[in-house]
Structure 1
């Protein structure tokens, strides 16, 4: 059976946890759940992973990310005020 990583991130005045770790080369899904109605956190996007998605309140949204290369990659809210990081090792 193929290994898959699922990383849960709570969006509540920021990203919790702010930094997560993913294993290089293993398919990975980030699961965001927004629990706070603060405006700019209703969107999450990443130039590093090439995604942008809306985050409806109290609903999970998943994003598949590329873990083929090691490094630290960033995602942020729609206004680039709150940041989170994925360390691929």
Structure 2
């Protein structure tokens, strides 16, 4: 191996490490759900190459409405899985899908696309 091949290999490994860190280990700011006059906690989530916001904070024991708007046709984002709440929903492109929950336990609950590539969290306090 010559010097150029070694530098290219090191650069490729560094970029792969950066991608892994970004998708799996970087912290994302949490967004607190907004309470309506009826006491329902509500959050609008855009699905486009990921979930935005991807970390949502809610209060335990109060109803939650998550409005997922899928702003793309990418096949990866066409399904939503929230295994801790037994939720599996199809997300039609360019439409809003309502998911209603009543979180009873505090903790961090993950949600993903059907392929597990897009990730988000519901933080119950």
Identify the residue that residue 43 of structure 2 maps to in structure 1: 7
Identify the residue that residue 61 of structure 1 maps to in structure 2: 97
Count of residue pairs brought into register by the alignment: 89
Query: Runs of 5+ in structure 2 lacking a partner?
Result: 1-36
Identify the residue that residue 27 of structure 2 maps to in structure 1: none
Identify the residue that residue 108 of structure 2 maps to in structure 1: 72
The structure having more radius of gyration, on CA atoms, is 2
Match of 2:81 among 45, 59, 70: 45
Alignment of 1:17-28 (within 5 A): 17-28=53-64
How far apart are residue 66 of structure 1 and its match?
2.5
Give 4+ residue runs of structure 1 displaced > 4 Å after superposition.
Answer: none
Larger RCO (alpha carbons 8 Å, 6+ apart): 1
Identify the residue that residue 84 of structure 1 maps to in structure 2: 120
Match of 1:35 among 71, 85, 91: 71
Per-residue displacement from partner, 1:29-65 (whole Å, max 9, x unpaired)?
1110000111110110111111111111111101112
Secondary structure of the corresponding residue to residue 48 of structure 1: helix
Between Structure 1 and Structure 2, the one with more strand by share is 1
Query: Runs of 5+ in structure 1 lacking a partner?
Result: none
